[in-house]
Structure 1
């Protein structure tokens, strides 16, 4: 059961990119319709902004600490998504409907769900403003707003999704398009991208590449396919141990990797993708594609841009060890919206949640926080339809593996943890606030040794 810590949940659950939000609810017709809820009070002891992974997890923990009636969650979306499974949805191995549940079903019982959007934060006055100028005050504020996808920043891409050749596993509206593009592939270039911005689940852009390559081999189309990974980064993965393992896979499968190339434009009528060379200003290269999987640029939610709680880039400015805000002692951040120097995954949120719970408890009791977050995160690097590498690491990009064996090896058990165990543990463990990362299990597995 402890294996939930290994999963790279890839997101904060609900937030969608702004230009796609209006149609989100139409995508999953089986969802229960929930009635809009507004605040029944204008003050809560703990106010949580965001109903994604971090927000739901912390609201569950705060409910147990101070009582449900003292906690509220602000979240506009009617549906909560388990996004890690979208890697497998895009590869045809899972159904999209399995990734979604009504938000009402994941809000802890008794906790107030305020179904609205945050319009403004005023931490100097201990309040936030929602839609319709509704003001909510708080004693403690937890910011868990996730991040925002920016497909619109790639010229031609939003309309390009009408093409059967383009998909993206990062949105509920486009993940099934990935599978259709893969099924329709005949011959030519299959291109996978990584943008020049922070991203959630940094391993996901290449997971779908490995799965697509495996699918093309299975269907006999691989000889006519050229697999291309164009990444804005200068390395295949930020932790050397796992990078070495991935480079071996890339070499054995004849995958072409181009470093420091960033997608700037899509021309769907010509099936062309335009990339800028980040090392040579002004230089671009045009690629023909038969299939294109796009990882969009990402950034902080609009409400955090130029906010008192954010740094110059718009990320919530928190202490990397305690998750307490650097300026406002009653404000805290968790997950993708923060400037924590670690990968933006819900495996990281699991580790952060346990620390943040203890941080807030200490502050409520008038004590200084003592527990420290070490930057733990993980990424299950799916490399085939029945294999995965379990990458776990810390702030220093050093492996922080839980099992007493080499997790950089492709394993069937690692794949089944990702595909079968993790969804159950996500809904019934992490979101209910019972999982704070695998550190205790790691200590047990390694007999107390580092």
Structure 2
């Protein structure tokens, strides 16, 4: 017989979005009965992996124990979610337990679909094939950058949506910056293969990025999608409008294709694309008012970044409490996302934007012009943002993230 337990609020996922939302809820209303369902013992600061791959951070700086970030007042259920039944307001766990809830918040992230590129999983971490999208592989990126002195380096970007749309080219810029510093860049052919048709989705930032594309001599290939890898043969194949293109390589940095979370996608919560179907402003589910979703598992059409989750968590918290109280939605998310584009070691183009590509700068232009590379933006990413993540976002301290009311 299935055991059923009840909690006032169940949060599925103890990653960035889930922990931040729990912390925001408790800051507003101590004493809430909140359960967080999360099987992992480790908690990662994923934006740091780009810096690990660029030799700026070591990977251990980006990982802490899940226990250390879990709010003391919540019940941590160390299980995986197996399914959702929003009709009867329950969550099924891997051990057979069923959780009942008054309100559900889904924050389970998306899925890195490595298997969609033939031969990729077998060669990751060897044969010059790497990715900053995995904690264990980001150090290998830096190892390859140090080892490479000539030949061809390929960097790939799959179809959208992906986690941090700028991350594939961040890896490329930091690699080129190091090769330029060592005086070997002229002996390395650098190619960027992007399935999309533009370098970056918000045009205001493209001119600065193109200056670096030209400076580093990068060969841009749009409409080019990685479909197969033979690591031993150091060969990759790309699907293009003109057919399949074969390229040999000495280094290959891969951004994996990405899908909706498998459990979410298989549930009644999902839209056709496999993401939790929510209102893009309130984060409330379109069919189940006692369900909210945020972060990379949700259908909101924003850039899937840590900065987006930081802005979404307080909105989800405010609106979840309004729903519990039988009141109208009280806060709205404007699509804010941030992508600190590491164009060289020591400088960043700080892209900040909302729905529709509208610029959403956090600082006045005279202090920090996000459309131009700056040392100030680098210091923000390298020295300030990690501390904000661990000590503010995950603690319910909403510095520069306080929610605004519904229009």
TM-score of the superposition, structure 2-length normalised? Answer: 0.95
SS in 1 for 2:164: coil
Structure 2 equivalent of residue 71 of structure 1 = 34
Shift of 1:244: 2.1
Moved over 3 A (4+): 64-69, 436-441
- Structure 1, residues 251-284: CA drift from partner, whole Å, max 9, x if none? 222111110100001111211110001x34xx11
Which of 355, 378, 385 is the matching residue for 1:415? 378
Distance 2:316 2:108 in 1: 16
SS in 1 for 2:192: strand
Confirm or deny that 1:252 pairs with 2:212: no
C-alpha contact (below 8 Å) 2:11/2:18 kept by paired residues: yes
Which of 95, 101, 110 is the matching residue for 1:147? 110
Which of 243, 260, 263 is the matching residue for 1:300? 260
Distance 2:377 2:308 in 1: 18
Distance 1:381 1:78 in 2: 30
Structure 1 equivalent of residue 357 of structure 2 = 397
Distance 1:383 1:178, change over 3 A: same
C-alpha contact (below 8 Å) 1:155/1:265 kept by paired residues: yes
Structure 1 equivalent of residue 165 of structure 2 = 202
Distance 1:143 1:437, change over 3 A: farther
C-alpha contact (below 8 Å) 2:119/2:228 kept by paired residues: yes
Distance 1:59 1:372 in 2: 18
Distance 1:400 1:110 in 2: 34
Confirm or deny that 1:330 pairs with 2:290: yes
**Deviates further, 242-251 or 373-382:** 242-251
- Structure 1, residues 62-93: CA drift from partner, whole Å, max 9, x if none? 22344456001000100000011110101111
Distance 1:243 1:229, change over 3 A: same
How do 1:259-338 and structure 2 match up within 5 A?
A: 259-277=222-240, 279-280=241-242, 283-338=243-298
C-alpha contact (below 8 Å) 2:314/2:401 kept by paired residues: no
Confirm or deny that 1:120 pairs with 2:80: no
Confirm or deny that 1:224 pairs with 2:198: no
Distance 1:176 1:111, change over 3 A: same
Distance 2:143 2:7 in 1: 46
Distance 1:333 1:362, change over 3 A: same
Confirm or deny that 1:181 pairs with 2:144: yes
Distance 1:134 1:365 in 2: 28
Shift of 1:164: 4.1
C-alpha contact (below 8 Å) 2:314/2:402 kept by paired residues: no
Confirm or deny that 1:431 pairs with 2:394: yes
Ranges in structure 1 where 5+ consecutive residues have no aligned partner: 1-39, 442-450
Distance 1:325 1:295 in 2: 30
C-alpha contact (below 8 Å) 1:350/1:437 kept by paired residues: no
Which of 340, 346, 354 is the matching residue for 2:300? 340
TM-score of the superposition, structure 1-length normalised? Answer: 0.86
C-alpha contact (below 8 Å) 1:201/1:379 kept by paired residues: yes
Distance 1:66 1:433 in 2: 12
SS in 1 for 2:186: helix
SS in 2 for 1:42: strand
Distance 1:359 1:374 in 2: 14
Confirm or deny that 1:84 pairs with 2:44: no
